[in-house]
Structure 1
Amino acid sequence: MNKNISDITLFSSQSTEVESYHLAAEKRLAGNPLQSVQNHFESPCKQFNVGVWQSEAGSWTVNYSEFEYCDILEGSSIITDSQGHSLTVKAGDKFVIPSGFTGTWEVVGYCKKIYVMFEQQA
């Protein structure tokens, strides 16, 4: 199947809905951060998604079933694994979180990122 220029997803020309939410109480460790996601693309198989996420300050547990590439646009976060090792990420940092990662995510003040997620089906 041939694709053409009209099949390219250009974020700036889309009017993608922004979904705002608070995390479920059982995931929250500190604060009650307002978060939002603007999913600009979802593949037909629903395994591949791309968009923009942002959050106010707070921390919560994470359990990744997907691979996620992150490009931090603004602010910073501290990601801590289940063994207690942490990584501080800030604007300009680009990284991949592997499927199977468990731990915590803490937003320090504010954080905004571009995400690219791939969830492999079993």
Structure 2
Amino acid sequence: MQSCERAVGAFISIRRNLTIMIDVSLITDALRPSGAPTQYRVSPDKLISGDPLQTLTPGFASPCGRFSTGIWESTPGCWRVAYTEAEYCEILEGTSVITDAEGNRKTVRTGHRFVIPPGFRGTWEVVERTRKIFVAYDEQPAE
């Protein structure tokens, strides 16, 4: 047992003294487009009202696919949402109403910043064309 404790202690000591050099070129613009914008409609099984046209411009994406950034926008409409990821949002323009499963509503407008936690279920209604920056992290690996 003592040798195991010594080995663990030695590993911790080495780990504390280890300096990893990260080149400044690896620091990237979180919103620099990493692909062309894609437009799509809300799937019929989620759509509640309207015919919202959504546009997604991808920014940074981690190699494992669990962390991503981008710009999202949508024309008016309402649909069901179910978040598996945590998502930070900053509304650049427009007005939307997010409603939880119990009917509690939160109106978000230009300048609002907020986080949607993983597991949130409810609806997202775009009242006035909405454009947002998002940063998302999903604890589950991407398929």
Pick closer, same or farther for the CA change 1:56–1:121 going to 2, 3 Å. Answer: same
Equivalent in 79, 85, 89 of residue 70 of structure 1: 89
SS state at 1:6 partner: helix
TM-score by length of 1: 0.92
Seen in structure 2, the aligned counterparts of structure 1 residues 82 and 116 have a Cα distance that, compared at 3 Å, is same
Q: 1:26 maps to which residue?
A: 45
> 1:105 & 1:46 partners in 2: Cα distance?
24
Q: Following TM superposition, where does structure 1 have runs of at least 4 consecutive aligned residues deviating by more than 6 angstroms?
A: none
Residue identity in the other structure for 2:66: Q
Query: Match of 1:114?
Result: 133
Q: Which has the larger strand fraction?
A: 1
Identity %: 44
Larger radius of gyration: 2
User: In the superposition, relative to structure 1, how do residues 120 and 11 fare at CA in structure 2: closer, same or farther (>3 Å)?
Assistant: closer
Question: Partners in 1 of 2:125 and 2:64 — Cα distance?
Answer: 31
1:52 aligns with 2:39: no
Q: Is the 2:31–2:71 Cα contact (8 Å) retained in structure 1?
A: no
Structure 1 residue matching 2:136: 3-state secondary structure:
strand
Structure 2 unmatched ranges of 5 or more: 1-19
Q: 1:83 aligns with which of 73, 93, 102?
A: 102
Counterpart-to-counterpart distance in 2, 1:43 and 1:15: 11
Q: Which runs of 5+ in 1 are unaligned?
A: none
What's the TM-score once normalised by structure 2's chain length? 0.79
Question: What letter matches 2:110 in structure 1?
Answer: A
Decide whether the 8 Å contact of 2:67 with 2:136 is kept in 1.
Answer: yes
What displacement does 1:8 show?
Answer: 2.5
The higher relative CO (CA closer than 8 Å, separation ≥ 6) is in 1
Q: Which protein is richer in helix relative to its size?
A: 2
Specify whether residues 111 and 120 from structure 1 end up closer, same or farther in structure 2 by C-alpha distance, changes over 3 A only. Answer: same
**Shift of residue 24, structure 1, vs aligned partner:** 0.6
User: In the alignment, does 2:24 pair up with 1:5?
Assistant: yes
